[in-house]
């Protein structure tokens, strides 16, 4: 919103007073978020080192108060799952991921992943869907461990320090454009005020944007800024995953077993490395 001065008037227009009063009384979201201008642009080296310090301070994250919504778009229509609760744990070094979702106390699905292998447990049909990183690509609705690691992997892994990378100022963010052989590979936005990652866009070999991850709603957690909302968009698949963290705990020691599936001898196992999605009963349409 732009405010223009009026040199022929000694007092601000009445509309400005009305807007200020409305913001003060109602605490309108947009007005409450008005902030001072971003600080002067910093050199790339300073931004990179700030990101390195932030990502280096985060090793594991656990949260037993999450909410998850998955949206799918097809044929001009959008379908949205009910809001699911549950808990999440991930280790940025392994990388390992454990996500359990529930609705009114009933487990909907549980996802465990370690490195390039995943196990998706579907209680309603007593099935475990598993596979490698290639099979993971058949399920765009799922968050992947390598994605989680990229969010907190540090500037070197993100490509911010690569020779072909350029930095520019884009509004309230620093924009790093990462190229490989002259083609776009990744775009990283860093918040100019907090010097934390605001978004990560990834591209395929054809230059298409395959993933856009947004990290926002930052709050102080154990003395450092941490995003309370993560949004993963997959434009080619028409999928958007919205994850809210309610009470995150950082750097808690997690055993390797936390990311490995329990024994389920009576459940049917479908390996998507060798079988199609249609083999999963839970995914079939009635």
pLDDT > 90? residue 134? no
Name the band, by pLDDT with cuts 50, 70 and 90, for residue 2: very low
What is the model's pLDDT at position 35?
61
Cβ within 8 Å of residue 203, ≥6 positions away = 183, 184, 185, 186, 187, 209, 210
pLDDT > 60? residue 136? yes
pLDDT > 80? residue 25? no
pLDDT > 80? residue 5? no
What is the model's pLDDT at position 133?
85
- Determine how β-strand 127-131 pairs with β-strand 268-271: parallel
pLDDT > 80? residue 21? no
Q: Tell me the mean pLDDT in the region 186-204.
A: 96
Report the distance separating Cα 91 and Cα 256, nearest Å: 9
pLDDT > 90? residue 211? yes
Q: Tell me the mean pLDDT in the region 213-229.
A: 95
Place of tokens 């009470």: 247
Q: Tell me the mean pLDDT in the region 224-234.
A: 95
Q: Tell me the mean pLDDT in the region 123-140.
A: 92
Contact of 133 with 146, CB cutoff 8 Å: yes
pLDDT > 70? residue 20? no
If one compares 16 and 230, the residue with the highest pLDDT of the two is 230
Comparing 13-17, 21-25, 179-183, the range with the smallest average pLDDT is: 21-25
Q: Average per-residue pLDDT in the chain?
A: 87
Name the band, by pLDDT with cuts 50, 70 and 90, for residue 26: very low
Q: Which of 134, 128, 136 is nearest to 110 (CA)?
A: 128
Domain locations along the chain: 44-283
Alpha helices for the chain (secondary structure H): 14-26, 29-32, 44-56, 133-136, 145-151, 155-158
pLDDT > 80? residue 286? no
What is the model's pLDDT at position 36?
67
What DSSP assignment string belongs to 170-230?
Answer: ETTEEEEEEEETTEEEEEEEEETTT-SEEEEEEE-TTS-EEEEEEEEEEEEETTEEEEEEE
Contact of 127 with 267, CB cutoff 8 Å: yes
Name the band, by pLDDT with cuts 50, 70 and 90, for residue 151: confident
**How large is the C-alpha radius of gyration of the chain?**
22
Domain 44-283, CATH number (from 2.50.20.10, 3.40.50.150, 3.30.450.70, 3.40.30.10): 2.50.20.10
What is the model's pLDDT at position 222?
96
Per DSSP, what are the bridge partners of residue 63?
A: 88
Report the distance separating Cα 148 and Cα 144, nearest Å: 7
């Amino acid at each position: 919103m732009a405010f223009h001065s009026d040199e022929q008037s000694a007092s601000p227009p009445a509309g400005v007073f009305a807007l200020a009063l409305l913001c003060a009384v109602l605490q309108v979201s947009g007005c409450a978020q008005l902030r001072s201008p971003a600080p002067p642009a910093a050199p790339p080296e300073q931004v990179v080192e700030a990101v390195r310090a932030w990502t280096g301070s985060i090793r594991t994250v656990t949260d037993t108060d999450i909410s998850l919504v998955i949206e799918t778009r097809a044929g001009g229509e959008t379908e949205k799952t009910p809001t699911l609760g549950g808990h999440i744990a991930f280790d940025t070094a392994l990388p390992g991921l454990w996500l359990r979702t529930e609705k009114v106390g009933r487990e909907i699905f549980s996802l465990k992943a370690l490195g390039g292998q995943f196990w998706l447990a579907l209680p309603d049909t007593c099935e475990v869907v598993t596979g490698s990183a290639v099979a993971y690509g058949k399920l765009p609705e799922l968050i992947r461990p390598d994605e989680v690691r990229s969010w907190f992997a540090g500037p070197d892994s993100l490509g911010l320090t690569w020779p072909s990378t350029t930095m520019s100022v884009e509004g309230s963010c620093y924009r790093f454009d990462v190229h490989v052989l002259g083609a776009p590979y990744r775009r990283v936005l860093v918040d100019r005020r907090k010097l934390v990652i605001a978004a990560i866009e990834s591209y395929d070999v054809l230059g298409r944007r395959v993933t856009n991850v947004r990290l926002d709603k930052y709050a102080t957690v154990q003395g450092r800024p941490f995003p309370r909302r993560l949004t993963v968009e997959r434009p080619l698949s028409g999928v958007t995953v919205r994850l809210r963290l309610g009470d995150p705990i950082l750097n808690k020691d997690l055993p390797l077993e936390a990311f490995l599936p329990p024994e389920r001898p009576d459940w049917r196992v479908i390996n998507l490395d060798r079988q199609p999605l249609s083999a999963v009963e839970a995914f079939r349409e009635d």
